[in-house]
Structure 1
Amino acid sequence: MSGQLDELLNEVSNVVQASNAQTTASQALALEVAGKMGEIDAKADEVVDRLNLAMVESISTNLRKTLYLDVVSGDDGNDGETSVKAVQTLSRAIQLSPEFGMTTINVVADQIVIVDSDIAVWDKSIIVQLNGGVLEQVIKDGKAGRIREYGESRIRLKFGTVRTALLEDGFSDVTENSAFFSRVDNYATRLFVFSMVIDLGDLMLFSGGNHACDIHVLAISSTDLIFTPTAVNHNLAKINTNLFALQIGLSTLPETHTWPELIQGVVLAADGEPTNLLTNILFA
């Protein structure tokens, strides 16, 4: 009987030892698998990070562009992405600009860029860098050239002159309808003028829409305003009952005029302060 018991206990001991060995092996395998899974996870995270970075870089590249404009030697069949493949017209440069992105249009130095028809800017942020040149509004076939904003657009002018048109035979519209910069839809017009000369002819530079969903913005900085000698109408901008932001800094105009008198459509309260205008210039 004792021998049978010893044999049974010995068998149980062998089973326990085998079970322990199997458990140890299973634990080692589990640790190995966990290690491999950790390596796989780390590599997967690295791949995801690289993909995310590539996507961000791709989006940044696609949404931020510099295009070149040469009105003399450019060709609108070019892509505009280098100076030797410059486009010839501003309208083509704007067409090539990405929606919801920011494009700098780099104009060859000292050239005159003519706007003699409507140019539409749809959901784009455009910087026109004139490099000493002129952006000029012209009347053609009885219509004034205009740059018209749609959607979430904004335009910045830098380092040159912007010139509005003079009246001519057969054209007498000096209202906001012929403003150089205006808009069509219900969003806000946004124009930023930096380190420029505004050469104001008979037509105004800027007009806000009648029903804006946001605040119209005209910001002028480090800029000199002059009047074309033969101009008889001196109006910089027309605003409406919607809220309008006018900010002017480090800028000059002829001593015979003041900034407030160049702005049409301002509604004044009893104390002389404007009710539809946010501005840093004094009206009262």
Structure 2
Amino acid sequence: MAEQTVQPPSGDGLVQMAYLHPHHVSHSWHESVMRLVMHDQLHDGRIIGTGGPFMISTASGALVESRNQVMTRWLEETPHEWLWFIDTDMGFAPDTVDRLLQAADPVERPVVGGLCFAARETHFDGMGGRRIMAVPTLYNPAHDPDGNVGFATRWHYPDNTLVQVAGTGAACLLIHRSAAEKIRAEYGDTWFDRVRYSDGRLVSEDLSFCWRLGLQHIPLYVHTGVKTTHHKQMWLSEADYLPPPVPEGDGRA
């Protein structure tokens, strides 16, 4: 592998914020960022803004290249100790980064994510749409009936707890510099390049990053107390409607 130019680690405790955008962001993300920046200015001042190369425009299908570009620029153009990926369709609390940092550790817990949910289409609704369910992005290692290794959704998890996982998404993910450098030393600047299961299926770019973490024995955690929202379009119908309970004594049968 060609020799890399790498900034020496500073141990400065600072967090480089980074996000990818298709030239627009969710309103909930925008408000969350404003509140987070205000919180940071009033407290520890550890978050480095996203000016310059860390807010990267990305077209559909360019997630791999864009996430890799963020990682390369972080390592080569800054000395900052941590990188925080936050997707532009997420909502989050003002103290999100503080809480992730409190849970993280450069050696024991170098990669920590918040609790995020994906939207999974389950089946045709008979009206031109699809039924949708929320799926937590916590994954355990798993084997299919043929013995192939992969990821399985962890449906149940303790609340407000730091949970070690085999995989999670990159929608709200704090990464220590040492973890990024260890993967770079082994694989080059391919942190998010998609790997394949043994049966040939492609793995998503964020789970491919987690796959490499696992191969390098780098621990990965999700803090289930660091809540987020995920702005998605969906179809609503009576199947989603749960009326509130009728108060006792209102005279209705």
TM-score by length of 2: 0.23
TM-score by length of 1: 0.21
Higher RCO (CA < 8 A, seq sep 6+) = 2
